[in-house]
Amino acid sequence: MILLVHTAVRPPGPTWAVNALQVTLLVLVAAGAAAVVTMRDPVRQAVILSLYGVVLAVLFFSVQAPDVALSEITVGTVALPLLILLTLAKVRGGQD
């Protein structure tokens, strides 16, 4: 029965190709990743990381993965930069 379902629902042939929006977003993601890595100041790095998360989320959305996009926004744009900023504040608080 399962094999029947399998053959019944599989779309025929190759599905789709990359469109212009996705190419643009892929380039932006590559540029954003480079920006995150090359930024030396950790505070600015955290903010750029947050923006990079937004671009990545839009890319996921453009390839029809809204769930992954949402997870990327919550983890990459909110949670991770927030934890980094809080940790930096804690570390620097001791030095001042």
CA separation for the pair 69, 84 (Å, rounded): 21
Q: Sketch the per residue contact string, 26 through 45, with other proteins: x for CB under 8 A, - otherwise.
A: --------------------
Query: Does 78 participate in binding other proteins (rule CB under 8 A)?
Result: yes
Tokens of 22: 């996705």
Query: Does 20 participate in binding other proteins (rule CB under 8 A)?
Result: no
**Contact present, 49 and 36 (Cβ < 8 Å):** yes
Query: Does 83 participate in binding other proteins (rule CB under 8 A)?
Result: yes
**CA-closest candidate to residue 74, choices 92, 60, 90, 91:** 60
Q: Choose between 8 and 41: whose C-beta lies nearer to other proteins.
A: 8
**Contact present, 43 and 82 (Cβ < 8 Å):** no
Chain residues binding other proteins by CB under 8 A are: 2, 5-6, 8-10, 14-18, 63, 66-67, 70-71, 73-75, 78-79, 82-83, 86-87, 89-90, 93, 96
